[in-house]
Amino acid sequence: MCGITGLFRLNTSSCKANIIQKMNTTLNHRGPDDNGVWEGTPGVALGHCRLAVQDLSQDGHQPMHSACDRYVMVFNGEVYNFAEIRQSLSQRSFKGHSDSEVVLCAIAEFGLKAALRKFNGMFALAIWDKQQKTLSLARDRVGKKPLYFGRSDDFFCFSSELKALKVIPNFTPELDMQALGQYMRFNYIPAPYSIYQGIYKLAPGSFVTLTVDELTSEHDLLDKCQQYWSALDVAAHQFNHPFSGTLDEAQTHLTHLLEDSTRLRMISDVPFGVLLSGGIDSSLVASMMQKQSARPVNSFSIGFSHSDKDEAHLAKNIASYLGTSHNELYVSGQDALDLVPDIAQHYDEPFADSSQIPTFIVAKLAKSKVTVALSGDGGDELFYGYNRYFRNIKNWQISQKIPDVLKRAVSGQLFRLASTQKLGLMTNKYANEIGAMNVLDMYMSRICKWVAPENLMLQPHTPEQHKLRAVSALVLPRPEHYLMLYDYVTYLCDDILVKTDRASMANSLELRSPLLDHRITEFAWSLPMSMKFHEGKGKHVLRKVLDQHIPNSLTNNPKHGFGAPIKSWLNGPLNDWAEDLLTQDKIEQQGIFDSEKVALLWHDFKHKKKKYHTQLWNMLMFQSWYHNQ
C-alpha cells in the first residue's frame, strides 16, 4: 500500500519537485519503505511513498516508467490477479515481479479503460502520457483506495489524502457548506465532494484523462470523469436477471468464489493476518484463510472494558476452533481519551463513524505482528445483513397500507410541530418517515443523524441528493434491493472504506477485503432475496457457507456491529474534552452553527433528558477537525 501525489503548473519554476517531496512527507505513514519524485515537462511532477508488500526490491520503486518510456505512473494499492494479466503480456519484458509493473504494462498494451476492466483489486493511480501530454487518474470499482484532486491557486493537484494538499503554496480553499450539510446528515462526506470547495474525490469505478488545456483552465473537472464500471448499471442488470439455481448450487459457487478471492488476497511477500470480530463475515474470511494456510494465521480482535458492546469472547471462540494464533486487546475509557483528541486528523475532513476508534486500535494491534490483514467488509451491503434493513422494510410494509393523503396530513402536522421546537430532532425524523412516498425516502429518515441540519447551520445550503435520485430512478424487483444498493454506493465506499483505509494506513497496515471482489459483488446482486433473508435473519447463503467450516453454535449470535460505547464515554472520560470543544465562544467564533441549539443539545444529553450522543459525536468530530486543520 502506498501514497501518491502530483502537481501540474505551466511555468518555468523548478520548485514542483520540492513541493512534491513535502507532500510525500505528509503521507509517510502510507508508505514508510521508499519515497520517489519525478518531474517532467511541461510542468508535471509525480510523487510516491511506498509500503513494500509485493517485490520488496528496488524494481518496485515509483514513480515507475514504462519500458517504451512513454508513460510515468504512481500507483497505490494491489491488483490481485496480476499474475494472470502478466501471462497475457508474455511478449513484454519485466524488470521485477511487482503488480505495479504489470499494471503499467497492461495500460501501455491495452489502453487505460480496457486495462482497468481487467484489474481485480483495490487501487488509485495516476499516469502521465509523455506523448499525448495528458494526465490520467483512476480508482478501483468500489473505492477502497482514496484519491483527491482539484485546483489550488494556479496548481492542478492530486493526492491520496487531503493533508498532502495543504502543504502546496497558497492552498487556502473555502469550506464547502453543501459538503458540510451532507456530513451532518450522514457522518461522512460522500464522493465526489470533499470538505473544501474545488477539491473532489474521484468516484469509485471512474477515471479521468485531462489535457494540458484542461489541467490549466477552468474546465469543470467532474464533467470530464468517466466510468469504466458502474455499480448502478451492473446491479440493476443482476437484480433483474436473478440466479436460477438452487440454494445448494448458490452455496457451492459462492464457496468457490470466496476461496479464490481469499487465495488471491493472501499473496504477499510480507506477514499477513485477519481482523476477527466474531461476526459472520470476518469469521468466514478467517476460516477461508486458515483452510489455505500451512501455519496458524494471526488473528486480531479487540473488546471494550465494562461495556455491553464487548464481543471479544465471540472472536476468541472462533479463533480457538479454527486454530488461529489469536491476539486480543481490551479498550478502556482512558485508551479512548488518549486517542480521540487526535483521531479526527487521520481523516483530513470531518468523519464521525464512532467505530473509527476500535478500527484504529485493532489496526495498530495487527501492525505489531503483520503488514497485511484481511477483513470481512462488504457482507452486510451485499447479503442483506444490517438490522436497519429489516426494520425499514417492516415499517414500509405498514406504511403502504395507509392512504397517502393521511400520511401527508400527519407528516405536515409533525413538521409544523418541529418548527416550534428548539431542536425538533426526533419530530423531524418521524415527520420524514411517516411522509415517505418510497422506501428510500423512509430509509433516509432512519439513517440520517440530522434529518434537517439546516435548522442547526447558520449558512444556507442545498442538500445534494444525486445518488439518492439515481438509485430511486432504477426499476428494481424488490424494495430491499434499493436499500442494499444505496448503501453500496454511499455508506460502504464513503464511510466503511474511508474508516478502514485511514485507520489501517495511519498504522502502515495494508487491509484487504475478499468479500469486495467484484466477482462476488456481481454474483451477490444476482441472488434472490430468499437466499439472503430467511427466518428473520440476513446473510442466509453466507451462513450456509460458514456452516461448512464452523459450527452454527459458535456463529449464531445477535448482530451488534463494531461501534464504541460513545454514550458512556461522553458521560465519563471524554466529558471534559467534549465540554471544551462545545463552548459558546468557540461555536460563535466559527459562525457556522447556532450556538444556542448546540448548547441545548449538550445540556439535554448531560442531564439525561435525551439520547443525543450520536448527534453530539457528529458535532464533536467536526469541532475537533476544525480546530486542528
Range in 11-15, 27-31, 395-399, 559-563 with the lowest mean pLDDT:
11-15
| Domain membership of residue 526 as a residue range | 233-385+482-555
When divided into structural domains, the chain yields a total of: 3
Strand (E) or helix (H) holding 39:
strand 34-40
- pLDDT for res 57: 66
| Boundary-marking domain end, from 203, 229, 255 | 229
| Boundary-marking domain end, from 197, 229, 261 | 229
Task: Please indicate, yes or no, whether residues 541 and 574 belong to a single structural domain of this protein.
Answer: no
Within-domain flag for 289: yes
CATH of the domain at 76: 3.60.20.10
- pLDDT for res 133: 96
Within-domain flag for 456: no
Task: Please indicate, yes or no, whether residues 120 and 212 belong to a single structural domain of this protein.
Answer: yes
Question: 373 with 510: CB under 8 angstroms?
Answer: yes
429 vs 446: CA distance, rounded Å: 7
Task: Please indicate, yes or no, whether residues 118 and 154 belong to a single structural domain of this protein.
Answer: yes
65 Cβ partners below 8 Å, 6+ apart?
Answer: 71, 72
Within-domain flag for 396: no
Assess whether 2 carries a catalytic annotation.
Answer: yes
Within-domain flag for 402: no
* Helix, strand, coil distribution of the chain in percent, nearest 5: 50, 15, 35
Question: 247 with 229: CB under 8 angstroms?
Answer: no
Within-domain flag for 308: yes
- pLDDT for res 414: 82
Q: Read off the pLDDT band of 494 (50, 70, 90).
A: very high
Indicate the annotated binding residues: 99, 275, 302, 375-376
Query: Averaged over 103-130, what is the pLDDT?
Result: 97
Task: Please indicate, yes or no, whether residues 17 and 118 belong to a single structural domain of this protein.
Answer: yes
CATH of the domain at 245: 3.40.50.620
Asked if the model's pLDDT at residue 110 lies above 90, the reply is: yes
Query: Averaged over 476-495, what is the pLDDT?
Result: 98
- pLDDT for res 274: 98
Task: Please indicate, yes or no, whether residues 209 and 125 belong to a single structural domain of this protein.
Answer: yes
Query: Averaged over 410-421, what is the pLDDT?
Result: 79
- Conformational region of residue 307, where left means phi above 0, alpha means psi within -120 to 50, and beta covers everything else: beta
At residue 208, φ and ψ (nearest 5 deg) are -145, 135
Asked if the model's pLDDT at residue 45 lies above 80, the reply is: yes
Instruction: Write out pLDDT tens, residues 284-343.
Output: 999 999 999 999 999 999 988 766 666 788 999 999 999 999 999 998 878 878 898 889
Task: Please indicate, yes or no, whether residues 54 and 155 belong to a single structural domain of this protein.
Answer: yes
Task: Please indicate, yes or no, whether residues 488 and 572 belong to a single structural domain of this protein.
Answer: no
Q: What is the largest CA-CA distance in the chain?
A: 73
429 vs 194: CA distance, rounded Å: 26
pLDDT, mean over the chain: 92
| Boundary-marking domain end, from 555, 584, 617 | 555
Task: Please indicate, yes or no, whether residues 269 and 339 belong to a single structural domain of this protein.
Answer: yes
Residue 101 grid coordinates:
509493473
Asked if the model's pLDDT at residue 12 lies above 60, the reply is: no
Model pTM score: 0.94
Query: Averaged over 80-96, what is the pLDDT?
Result: 86
Within-domain flag for 200: yes
Asked if the model's pLDDT at residue 14 lies above 60, the reply is: no
63 vs 74: CA distance, rounded Å: 5
Instruction: Write out pLDDT tens, residues 442-485.
Output: 999 889 988 888 888 998 777 778 899 999 999 999 999 999 99
Within-domain flag for 397: no
Instruction: Write out pLDDT tens, residues 226-245.
Output: 999 999 999 999 999 999 99
Q: Which residue among the candidates 2, 49, 225, 493 is catalytic per the annotation? A: 2
Instruction: Write out pLDDT tens, residues 136-195.
Output: 999 999 999 999 999 987 889 999 999 999 999 889 889 999 999 999 999 999 999 999
433473508: which residue's cell? 533
Q: Read off the pLDDT band of 1 (50, 70, 90).
A: low
Task: Please indicate, yes or no, whether residues 188 and 251 belong to a single structural domain of this protein.
Answer: no
- pLDDT for res 54: 65
Indicate the annotated binding residues for ATP: 275, 302, 375-376
Task: Please indicate, yes or no, whether residues 167 and 84 belong to a single structural domain of this protein.
Answer: yes
Asked if the model's pLDDT at residue 429 lies above 90, the reply is: no
Q: Could you tell me which of 97, 92, 2 has the C-alpha nearest to residue 47?
A: 2
Task: Please indicate, yes or no, whether residues 237 and 223 belong to a single structural domain of this protein.
Answer: no
Within-domain flag for 449: no
Task: Please indicate, yes or no, whether residues 549 and 597 belong to a single structural domain of this protein.
Answer: no
- pLDDT for res 561: 64
Q: Could you tell me which of 6, 1, 38, 229 has the C-alpha nearest to residue 115?
A: 229
Indicate the annotated binding residues for L-glutamine: 99
